[in-house]
Amino acid sequence: MTENLRDIELTLNDGTPTTLNTLAGSDAVLLVNTASKCGLTVQYEGLQALADEYAGKGLTVVGAPCNQSNGQEPGTDEEIRDFACTRYNVSFPLLSKLEVNGPGAHPLYKELTTVPDSDGEAGDVAWNFEKFLITPDGAVAARIRPKTEPQDPAVTEAIETVLAP
């Protein structure tokens, strides 16, 4: 990794510049690329449940909308925010739409995609709702592929391991 992931510049869904450090403080971060028109969009419910359950325990969930998987996030930042908040009661931070793969990939995702998953596979984000658990010091504790639901033991155990005293 070339720099601390938590210091890479990002933009919130409302246009405000930020970083993961600004969003999460000393919390761990579960960063998830999201999409509104995907079969996995219902994972917003599970992500919000994680955000609620672990908010006071040191976890911040952050959504990173992306339109690279079959154009399943075609809306504007405002439309994305309205959809997530109205349909799924999302209260965790959403970033401005970004790219996660290819030459236009956001610098954060250029770093994240070098990290292997539990099977040792690094490379492109496979699909919408791929999850990266980032520790308070900026290390990637887990890369969790899209079809793994937010309440899956693989996710909650990784979170609890990172949050353990």
- The set of catalytic residues is 38
- Compute the radius of gyration of the chain from its Cα atoms: 14
Q: To which residue do tokens 């959403």 refer?
A: 94
- Which residues make beta-bridge pairs with 18? 10
Three-class HEC string of 119-146: CCCCCCCCCCCCEEEECCCCCEEEEECC
| Tokens, residue 20 | 């993961």
Give every CB contact of residue 119 below 8 A, 6+ residues apart in sequence.
Answer: none
| Tokens, residue 74 | 């075609």
| Tokens, residue 82 | 């309205």
- Which residues make beta-bridge pairs with 60? 29
